[in-house]
Structure 1
Amino acid sequence: MGTTLSRDALNRALIERQLLRERADLSALATIEHLFGMQAQEPKSPYVGLWSRLSNFRPEDLEELLISRQAVRILLMRGTIHLVSANDALGLRPHTQLKLDREVTSGPFAKRLQGLDFDEVAEAGRKIVEDTPLGTADAGKLLQQRWPDREHTVLGNALRNKLPLVQIPPRGLWHKSGRAICTTVEHWLGRPQQAMPREEIVLRYLRAFGPSTVMDAQQWSGLTRLGEVFEKLRPELVTFRTEAGKELFDLPDAPRPDPDTPLPVRLLPEFDNILLAHADRRRVIADDRLGVVIGGKPTVLVDGYVVATWSITKERTISVDYLDKLPKSRQKAVADECDRLRDWIG
C-alpha cells in the first residue's frame, strides 16, 4: 500500500478536481460531464454550482442544454435527481434500476403496492407519459382507472421508480421553471439506454472525486460490489492510504496538489455532490456538520472546508451563518464572494 495522504491532501485533490480552486474556462456541458453529474433536487442548484466552477458561465448556457436535450434531469445516483449529459443519462440510468426496484418492494409505499404486477404498471405508465408528458401524480390518476383500488399517488410513485423518467423543461430552467413534468429518457432523447461499463463508472468517479476508497465510490453511486471492479482495475491505478490506514485508489495522472495549496472562498448550492460523494466526508465537512447538508442548506467553503451556510434574503442580499469564528480577513473574503454571487444573480 502506498503513501499516506492527510485529510488536507485529500481536500486539495477534491477541490482541484471539482474545479473549485480556480474557475475553469470550460463549457457547461463539458463541466457537467467532467463532474459526472450534479445534484439537482433544487432546480436552480446546478446554476450556482456551475457559477462557482466556471469563469464565464451564464444561466442561458444551461437552459440551452436542457431545451436542446443535450442535458437532462433524471433520477440517478442514490435515487436522487441529477443533472447529467444525455449520453451519461442513457449510460448510468440502467445501473440505478436495482436500487429503485428494491425501494418499490421495501420502501414506504410497499404495503400499498402489494399484489401489483409492477412490469404491467410500468408498461401502462410508459404509454401514458410517452403520449403526453405528465407529473407522476397525474399519471397515477390515469393508472387508477385501471387499478381503482390503489391510490393515485402510490401508483405515481411506482412509476417514478420503475421508469427512467426525465423532468422536461420548463422544469429546471433559470428564468422560468415549473412543475416536474416527465416522460421517459428514451422517448425524450430518441435513443435507447445502454449501460456503460462499471469500470468506466469507477474511472470517471475517481477523476472527479478521488483519491477514494471502495466504500466512497459505493456511497456516491448507490451501487454495491464495486470492490470487484477496483480489483480488476488495480493494475491501471495507484494506491495510497488514509491516516486511518484505509486503502485509497486513484488515477496515476490525476492532480494531487500540495496540501498547503491556498484556496479561495467558494459558495456551494444545496446538496452539492462534493459533500455527498464519500463515505468519509471529513475531507470537506466535519461529521458534526452533516446536518446542514441533510437539511439542504447551501454552504460556504473557506480554505477548502465547510465553515458556514448562506441564503438569499427577501432583499436579494446574501446572508451568511457562520459555524466557525473566522478572522476578519476571511470574513471579508466571504463577503466579497457573496457580493459576486448577488451581482451575478442580478
Structure 2
Amino acid sequence: MNPLLTSRALNRATLDRQLLLSRAELPVTDVVERVGGLQAQTPHTWYTGLWNRIEGFRAAEASALLESRALVRLALQRSTIHLVTARDCLAMRPLLQVVTERMTRSTFVRKLGDVDLAELAAYGRELVEAEPMTFAALGRALAERWPGEDPHALSQVVRWLVPLVQVPPRGLWGRSGPIAHTSAESWLGFEAPAMTPAELVTRYLRAFGPATVMDAQTWSGLTRLGEVVESMDLVRFRDERGRTLYDLPDAERPSPETPAPVRLMYDFDNLFLSHADRSRVITEAGFAALGDFMGTNVMPRVILVDGVTAGDWTVTRAGKVSTLGVHQWTPIKDLDAVAEEGLRLLEFLAPGDKHEISVFDGPSKS
C-alpha cells in the first residue's frame, strides 16, 4: 500500500514548493518559473504574489522585466492570463493551446459562417504584428475583411489560433494601458521547443505536488494526463481518502509540523486554483466564504494562518492614510502576527502613506 500523506503534510509540501513557508532569495524570473507561473488576469495584483515569495522584492524590478520582455502575460493554463517567462511562454503555449481551442470552438467558431480559419489566423497575425491591438479594434478590422461576421467571435478565434501576449504599458507597476495584443513570436523574437506533456507534469509537481492526476488536469486544463503520469518515473502516495498522489522522486516534503507564517495572498493566486481537491489549503469555513466567488472574475484576497484560509484582507485609502482591513472568517488566534504582516504589506503597496489596521468579523463581502 502506498504511504499515507495527511492533509497537513500536503499543505506543508505545497506551501514549500510555492515558496510560502519562507521567502526565497532568487531572481524574479527563477521564482516565476519555479511556481509554474502566476495567474495574472488582473494587471497588478500578481505583484503581491511575488512579494509573498521573494525576499526584498521590488515591484519595479518585475515591472522592468515585463517591459524588457523577459516576462510576458498571455493565456495559458485553463485559458486564463498567466505571467510567465519568455521561455515558458513559447514552450507551454503549443501544448496548452488545445485548452483555448475547446472553449473557442464551442463558443465562437460556431458563430462564424464559411470563414477559412487558416486565412483568419494569417490575417489576424498580420494585423497584430503590424501594431498591437485590443480585441475590439482587432474585431473591427477583421470584420472589414469578413463583413457580416461577428467581430468579437473573429477576434477570439484569432486569440486561439495565434499566441497573443498583452503588451506594456498594461501590467506595469504604477501604470497601465489598453489591453493590446501582439503575437508572442514577434514580441519575443526567438523560438523555443514546445514542452512535452511529461515535462509539463514535471513542472506542475515541482510547483504544486504531491498531487493526483485530476489535480494536474485542473491546473493545466488538459485531459487524459493519466496515461502520461503512468509512463513517468514517479513515487506514489495516498491521501486520507485513499486517492493516489504522485510526486517527483527527488522532491522535498517538509515535516507536517513545519511552521507556516502568515501570508496575505492576492486575489487569483494559483495556490487556490491548481488542485481538484483544494482542502489542503482551504478550510470548511473557507469554502463557505469563497463559495460565491469560485469560478467568477472576482475573488477575495485570502489570509493564510498556519497554512490555511482564515480570512480575507482589503485596503482602503483616505487622504494619505491606507488601512488594511482584516476580515476574519472565524476567530484568528494570532491577530498580532496578521497585523504585523499587514503593515509590511502596506509598506509595499503604499510606501508613502500612514498605515493602519482594522479588524472585522466575517468575510469582506458581507
Both proteins in one fold, TM over 0.5: yes
Matched, 1:250 2:235: no
- Cross-structure match for 2:75: 75
C-alpha RMSD of the superposition:
1.4
The 3-state SS of whatever aligns with 2:341 is helix
Q: Residues of 2 paired with 1:320 and 1:159: CA distance?
A: 43
Report if aligned partners of 1:36, 1:204 keep a CA contact under 8 Å in 2: yes
Counterpart AA for 1:55: E
The 3-state SS of whatever aligns with 1:313 is strand
Higher relative contact order (CA 8 A, sep 6+): 1
Alignment coverage as a number of residue pairs: 341
Matched, 1:341 2:338: no
The 3-state SS of whatever aligns with 2:304 is strand
Deviations 1:246-291 (A, max 9, x none): 0001112212111122111001111100101101000001343443
- Cross-structure match for 2:91: 91
Report if aligned partners of 2:300, 2:313 keep a CA contact under 8 Å in 1: yes
Report if aligned partners of 2:25, 2:55 keep a CA contact under 8 Å in 1: yes
**Superposition deviation, residue 232 in structure 1:** 1.0
Pick the structure with more helix per residue.
1
Q: Residues of 2 paired with 1:307 and 1:206: CA distance?
A: 26
Matched, 1:322 2:328: yes
- Cross-structure match for 2:155: 156
Structure 1 consecutive aligned stretches of length 4 or more whose deviation exceeds 3 Å: 286-290, 292-295
Q: Residues of 2 paired with 1:197 and 1:99: CA distance?
A: 15
- Cross-structure match for 2:226: 227
Report if aligned partners of 1:300, 1:308 keep a CA contact under 8 Å in 2: yes
Q: TM (normalized to structure 2)?
A: 0.90
- Cross-structure match for 1:264: 261
Superposed counterparts of 1:1-346, under 5 Å: 1-107=1-107, 109-192=108-191, 194-233=193-232, 236-286=233-283, 287-291=287-291, 292-294=293-295, 295-315=298-318, 316-327=322-333, 330-345=334-349, 346=351
Deviations 1:125-144 (A, max 9, x none): 10000011111110111111
Counterpart AA for 1:15: L
Q: Residues of 1 paired with 2:324 and 2:178: CA distance?
A: 26
The 3-state SS of whatever aligns with 2:317 is coil
Q: Residues of 1 paired with 2:129 and 2:109: CA distance?
A: 26
Q: Residues of 1 paired with 2:49 and 2:173: CA distance?
A: 13
Deviates more, 1:65-74 or 1:81-90: 65-74
Deviations 1:77-130 (A, max 9, x none): 0010000000100010011222222222212x3542243322221111100000
The 3-state SS of whatever aligns with 1:199 is helix
Counterpart AA for 2:341: E
Report if aligned partners of 2:109, 2:153 keep a CA contact under 8 Å in 1: no
Report if aligned partners of 1:186, 1:193 keep a CA contact under 8 Å in 2: no
Q: Residues of 2 paired with 1:137 and 1:96: CA distance?
A: 24
User: Percent identity at matched positions?
Assistant: 47
Structure 1 unpaired stretches of 5+: none
Deviations 1:151-196 (A, max 9, x none): 3223222222222000011111112111111100001011235311
Structure 2 unpaired stretches of 5+: 352-366
**Superposition deviation, residue 60 in structure 1:** 1.2
